[in-house]
With several copies, the nearest count.
Chain A
């Protein structure tokens, strides 16, 4: 391999080669699995939530390099956030933290946002008592 000629920038490549938080959480409080109809990628995010805070996050991804990097980065970013903060998470945060993605690959970061939201919704569905405390209204199911 060459250091200089890679398809993605060095942050993306690093997250692709050494993904953070890869795997499943044994006793996940919320799990979201979403797919992108356009490209066929599938992403799954599991969350451990305690006292309204995301304590831990894991991902599994079937998809291209930038999809893997996006889910790795998304789980990194989300850890420690409150549910409310997490509900306001957008794909742009992933793109920025990765130092940019090729235009044709922006949808990978969108998928990461969607997987996270799906996991949060799953948590809220299972814990209806939390819903009333949310400042952000729950988004319509994808």
Chain B
């Protein structure tokens, strides 16, 4: 059986060259960067080099603006809370996009419990932030605007440069979560006028266990993990040296291969979506069409009349690894707040699958997925009472309405006695 990994948004294999670079730091150069002797100083050099590699990837002015954390989540927490706490006396208002990742949304909710207020700016049906709404949301008390570069769920590329212009006009620092874009799209912190940018190298073939936070020297930031004076006093705790070294290599390779990676995945993305659209009926692409508004790696699709987990399981049984709902929170089995924010019909949100391509995905992989997925959908529709009821005109399709029957949501509400949403 063919094995096709289409969950690059959740994890990527470590680059062999990154692993090679990491190896000596486990058993040989194992020192603590805080130590003042040879063992410490050697690894301190290695951290410095990685900082330079990170700075280059995002066009940061100086490696001193790069801080290492443990992952993208911690970087997001540090950006949000670290700026909020640092500016507590200036104001206690934040503005975020409604479709931020939970690491941003939940950090904000935590601050709200501590007396901050937050405005969540809505998105259109394709997930684009409403710029005017954002502009209007900023008040003299606003100390931070947070907008992600690419949506982790539906692949929408946000107008970050425009947001940056609004922020600099209003004099409010901008934080951009680049977890879903770093290594896959060009990032230029200066061109955007971003005060903070976060990302995590494990999303572009770096190791797990390290996150990055860029902070422009002018932006005020206090630490949220307290202790020693590591990372310029902004992140206490013994640095994960091997991972930081490997992450540096991954950043360098990503920078070198960026154009090729984009071209390769874009071609496959188009082929995959075209194939699915052709061979699976009643299927919808969530987020923008493949093109300048969508990252080249992500396809978020809704297949009508069947549910997502079954699709995921049958994919897995056929060697295909995919995600459903919001990849990072799929454990909770809740429908992603992103799909809710774009106003996706409940019937379609239920049948959600996310496929994310990578540098090793091939044309053959894509063709196998199209074929296999069409069979899977057929099988699941054969089991689904909704498909049957659609055939019999009892319920209607959302994707291609026939004008016959009631809506899925209405039907679901009728049989469950409660509203489905």
Chain A interfacial positions (CB closer than 8 Å to B): 1-2, 4-7, 16-17, 19, 22, 24, 33-37, 39-44, 60-65, 67-68, 104, 142
Contact = CB atoms under 8 A, between A and B. Distances in A.
B145 to A, nearest CB: 33
Contact of A64 (B307, B346, B411): B307
A60 B307 contact: no
B383 interface: yes
Interface of B: 1, 36, 38, 41-42, 45, 305-310, 313, 316-319, 333, 335, 346, 350, 382-386, 388, 411-420
14 contacts: A6-B38, A7-B316, A33-B415, A35-B414, A37-B420, A40-B420, A42-B412, A43-B385, A61-B383, A64-B333, A65-B310, A67-B307, A68-B383, A142-B417
Contacts of B420: 35, 37, 40
A39 B386 CA distance: 15
B417 A1 contact: no
Given A19-B383, A61-B384, A65-B310, A36 B42 contact: no
Contact of B416 (A4, A6, A35): A35
A60 B389 CA distance: 11
A36 B41 CA distance: 27
Nearest to A33: B415
A63 B412 contact: no
Contact of A42 (B1, B309, B386): B386
A59 B417 CA distance: 20
Given A1-B1, A37-B418, A44 B412 contact: no
A10 B405 CA distance: 39
B385 A62 contact: yes
B415 A5 contact: no
A5 B38 contact: yes
A76 B413 CA distance: 28
A62 B306 contact: yes
B57 to A, nearest CB: 26
Contact of A5 (B45, B313, B388): B45
B316 A104 contact: no
Given A6-B41, A36-B416, A65 B309 contact: yes
A61 B418 contact: no
A141 B419 CA distance: 18
Given A1-B38, A104-B333, A60 B388 contact: yes
A142 B318 CA distance: 38
Contacts of A22: 382-383
Contacts of B319: 1
Contact of B415 (A2, A35, A60, A65): A35
Contacts of A68: 310, 383
Contacts of B317: 1, 17
Contact of A37 (B307, B308, B383, B419): B419
B42 A60 contact: no
B302 to A, nearest CB: 13
A68 B333 CA distance: 16
Contact of A40 (B42, B307, B316, B318): B307
A140 B355 CA distance: 44
B348 to A, nearest CB: 11
Contacts of A61: 383-385
B17 to A, nearest CB: 23
Given A62-B385, A62-B386, A34 B416 contact: yes
Nearest to A39: B333
A37 B416 contact: yes
Contact of B310 (A4, A24, A44, A63): A63
A110 to B, nearest CB: 12
B3 to A, nearest CB: 9
B330 to A, nearest CB: 11
Contacts of A16: 310, 313
Given A5-B38, A34-B416, A65 B313 contact: yes
Given A19-B383, A39-B333, A40-B307, A5 B1 contact: no
Contact of A60 (B41, B384, B418): B384
A24 B335 CA distance: 29
Contact of A24 (B346, B388, B412, B414): B388
